A and B are shown apart, each in its own frame.
Chain A
Amino acid sequence: MTDAFILMAPLRGGEQDKARAAIEALDEPFARVPGTHIARLQVLRPPPRRFRGRTRYYLLLAADHDGSADAWLAAAAREIDAVLAHCAFWPGAGDADEVVRWAKARQLHSGFWIVGAPDATVGEVGEALELRARLTRFAAETAGVSDDELHARWPPR
């Protein structure tokens, strides 16, 4: 079952450009976080209300993942520590319990959602796509062959 985690954490004063640079420097950190379907990172500044001065900058981390949020957060924090390090009160990625506590205090809950394949894990989607490619290839290769030849080539590889 896919679950979501949305984090909106204020950045330390004046560190928005450093946070943006850290985001730009990332390669593919979420590829190394098991169970991540989708993830985004961005620096965001809400528009100010009238006569209330300037707003702060925030880091938005949003992801849909398999499994428990705690395990996902601990793994993700290790991969994007360089970005999260610009957030106020970031405890560092070393202590998983602290990371989870810090992140959950800044979590936004999604109230309504649509998910394309809500019941499939990342692994299941990958296997299904691979099987689809295999079956498509096998169907093309065995089009018009005799039952005996089909039997000899079975199963689809």
Chain B
Amino acid sequence: MRATPLTILSPVPWWWACWIRFSWLFARYVPWVTRPLQELSFIHFARWSVIGRWPADRQTRRDRAAPRALLFLTSFDGSDIQYIEAFVRVVPKQIGFLYLFAKDFPGPRRFGPVKRYIDDHTHPVGHFWLAHPDASTTMVQQALELREAFTKLEPRVKGADAQTLGREWQQFLTSTQELL
């Protein structure tokens, strides 16, 4: 399997949990936040959630010992070291804004302390399943682009003579060679 799952639980003060929730109302629409993260092409899925109450069910007695926390669930191609390095290198400010007042967070700029923080706050995944385990995120994106291009080619060559098919096929290969 190519993908690695990671579950990180970061205790945060109540007022920072409020700030995170508020900031998320706008963050999705701010390219400075979303674009560099989307360009990290090795991420299959990354989701953040604030846990304000343990458990969420208000009819169950509150677990008063459990802190408010920021839950980060992700899965990615490659090793956790490459993943952390990319975050530190590509999106340090965005991560800094999110984790600024998370308990014990060392700041986003230096690999070593961030790695130690992640090691300390990671919870091992018991069972992990991915629908297409042998395909990296890049492969999936390429395959979807290729499918779109081939869908456009098919009607053009349907019933075509050999010469037209040859010409169209060569053009298709030229335009999609990076996807194959």
Contacts and interface: CB of A to CB of B under 8 A. Distances in A.
B130 A38 contact: yes
B65 interface: yes
A18 interface: no
Contacts of A142: 169
A66 to B, nearest CB: 10
Majority SS at the chain B contact face: mixed
Given A49-B65, A110-B49, A114-B46, 18 more contacts: A6-B71, A23-B126, A26-B127, A38-B128, A40-B5, A40-B7, A42-B7, A46-B51, A47-B67, A58-B54, A60-B123, A62-B73, A112-B48, A113-B46, A122-B131, A131-B143, A147-B166, A154-B165
Category for how many chain B residues contact A: 35 or more
A1 interface: no
A147 B135 CA distance: 33
A113 B131 contact: no
Interface of B: 3, 5, 7, 9, 11, 20-21, 24, 27-28, 34, 37-38, 40-41, 43-51, 54-57, 59-60, 63-67, 69, 71, 73, 75, 123-132, 135, 137, 139-144, 146-147, 150, 154, 157, 161-163, 165-166, 169, 173, 179-180
Interface of A: 4, 6, 8-10, 20, 23-24, 26, 28-31, 36-49, 52-56, 58, 60, 62, 64, 88-89, 105-117, 120, 122, 124-129, 131-132, 135-136, 139, 142, 146-148, 150-151, 154-155
B168 to A, nearest CB: 10
Given A55-B63, A108-B56, A150 B169 contact: yes
B147 A127 contact: yes
